[in-house]
Amino acid sequence: MSVSEILDVVATAAPEIRSGLPGRRTKIDEQNRSGERQLAADVWADELLGDRLAAVDSVGAYASEERDEVENVGDGYLVAVDPLDGSSNLRSNNPMGTVVGVYDDDLPTTGRSLVAAAFVLYGPITTMVVARDGSTTEYVVEAGDRRDVGEIALPEEPTVYGFGGRVPDWPAGVADYVETIEGELKLRYGGAMIADVSQVLTYGGIFAYPMLQSRSSGKLRILFEGAPIAYIVESAGGSSSDGTRSLLDVEVTEVHQRTPVFVGNADLVDRLEATV
Ligand code: P6P
């Protein structure tokens, strides 16, 4: 019940977050711990989710991409949230969403302590994808209720790929790998991890925000983005990697620790690890 309660809170908040977006597209004079300028929507979604989740009995700590430190609120799960992943897409009216990881552990930990992970995708419709107990399920969210629309499993045959970062900033191994797969797959990259991962879950392929020459750990955060999305993709029959190992095996010692992220069909991830 307690994990379901956490997921229900996120589903109930989704329509409220979505309806509050139009008036909050402006940048504010604040940065998050990762040095990213915040939108009014980032702070508002974080406050709404933080308040609601902190009130759930089974939540012991709330961590957010928008907050410097973990907020201890009692005994229970560590809930790590990216309140609005891809919020820069708000100004251009492109998809974005919310990512949630439910860890049965405190920091330091790994993604192996996840008991559930989910994302809400604010696309043409609002959907929620939930991974728990070894499977990944999609829900349509309407008026705060989530309606089960079936289990998700990566298609055998991959179709799409999306790699973040600037091409000249990719290490040679990443550039070589992309040069190979761009002859096999179609480019799908939209600037919001979960919208791009949703393409991979639906059509098969690989999403990555790789290590960069300028930043060997890449851009994405392991606690809020890498581990939860790896849990979702691996529960859907895919694989994940930081270039060497499953993202679920990466030790998380710092709240805003970054990691290279590769998720998708197992053979594509295997080929990636053999190349970088
Ligand atoms: P870039 C959004 O800011 C995010 O954290 C991910 O959702 C997304 O995949 C990536 O960063 C986009 O980064 O450098 O393409 O703007």
CATH superfamily of 3-151: Fructose-1,6-Bisphosphatase, subunit A, domain 1 (3.30.540.10)
- Per-residue confidence (pLDDT) for residue 26, from 0 to 100: 76
- How many angstroms separate the alpha carbon of residue 49 from the centre of ligand 1? 21
Nearest to 235 by CA among 151, 157, 110: 151
CB within 6 Å of ligand 1 — which residues? 85-86, 88, 164, 191-193, 209, 219-220
Q: For residue 20, what are the β-bridge partners?
A: none
Write the residue with the smallest CA distance to atom 1 of ligand 1.
191
Fold match between domain 3-151 and domain 160-275: no
User: Which atom of ligand 1 lies nearest, measured to the CA of 88?
Assistant: 3
pLDDT averaged over consecutive 10-residue blocks of the chain (276 residues)?
A: 92 94 79 74 92 96 95 96 93 96 96 98 97 97 91 98 98 98 98 97 98 98 98 98 98 97 98 96
pTM over the 0.75 mark: yes
Which atom of ligand 1 has the smallest separation from the CA of 191? 12
pLDDT of residue 168: 98
| Structural domain boundaries in the chain | 3-151, 160-275
Q: What's the pLDDT score for residue 27?
A: 74
Cα of 14 from ligand 1 centre, angstroms: 21
Please give the number of the atom of ligand 1 that sits closest to the Cα of 220: 5
Question: Fold for domain 160-275?
Answer: D-Maltodextrin-Binding Protein; domain 2 (3.40.190)
Distance CA(117)–CA(223), nearest Å, equals 11
Ligand 1 pocket test, pick from 81, 219, 229, 256 with the greatest ligand atom count within 8 Å of Cβ, gives 219
